Structure 1
């Protein structure tokens, strides 16, 4: 049986999320997650299996001036796109589903759960330009390309900024 569970500050839960993230992306998310959990409007959900533990998660928060990624996006978008996409925005920060559980609708469920009570006017996310499966999922759910390519820092690969009116 699989169920959706709200993310809270439980250290064991955060460590389990970090374990899944390491499996999916081969890096840790724990420090970033512990920082983000304190941001205004933080929301997070995970998909939990009775047999296999956490098989996916998503989280985000209200995007505010002064936050690291908000400022990067603001500089990239310029004033007109800023007003449309970032002025009243929920930043969709992460979605990860274990490779053994992809293409079963879990990502869609996690996205819907995360956004269903968000009261902001828009939501934005970034994903790698070449991540075709993620881009296809987001586009199927009504997200549009806001800007492509987007290079967050000099060592990053190209990303795409996507947005959705809520």
Structure 2
């Protein structure tokens, strides 16, 4: 039903991912493409894209190792107490983006993309944010054993939309 492909240095499909981002979120004019290119150089970057049978991109996910000095990681750190900071942001993988085209939502693709993204990641935890009122996303993550770390996180002074910080404990495999 879906074909999922891991992004690698030779075949980043940044333009197509940015087009899908703008289509899904109605965010023409954002610098998502620039942000994606910048993030692709972060330590531990990994991403996946999904295609339908007609070879149209219908979803993507990406993330990277969450490190001090990264803009969003530092925003998250300011929201957490010392115990939460150590528990959630030490040795952490940050899920930055998950998007599924509205025509294919609730088909299992979001779950598949999150699973692929975290598969083989050797971090203690993973962390993400989503809009506080985005019940479908929160339900997806809760069904995948993510927990709420903090409610009502407002990451931007430009947009007062409250977000929720969610975390997931990961099993670190020892080879």
* Alignment partner of 1:89 is 2:97: no
Aligned counterparts of 1:34 and 1:131: Cα–Cα separation in 2: 26
Within a 5 Å distance, the mapping from 1:13-162 to structure 2 comes to 13-27=13-27, 28=30, 29-156=32-159, 157-162=161-166
Runs of 5+ unmatched residues, structure 2: 171-175
Over the aligned positions, Cα root-mean-square deviation in angstroms equals: 1.3
Deviations 1:59-97, CA, capped at 9 Å, x for gaps: 000000000001000111121110000011000000000
Aligned counterparts of 2:33 and 2:10: Cα–Cα separation in 1: 12
User: Aligned-pair distance for 1:117?
Assistant: 0.8
Aligned counterparts of 1:12 and 1:75: Cα–Cα separation in 2: 32
Runs of 5+ unmatched residues, structure 1: none
User: Aligned-pair distance for 1:53?
Assistant: 1.2
Shifted more, 10-19 versus 76-85: the winner is 10-19
Partner SS state of residue 95, structure 1: strand
Aligned counterparts of 2:53 and 2:143: Cα–Cα separation in 1: 29
Q: TM-score, normalising length from structure 2?
A: 0.91
User: Aligned-pair distance for 1:36?
Assistant: 0.3
* Alignment partner of 1:163 is 2:167: yes
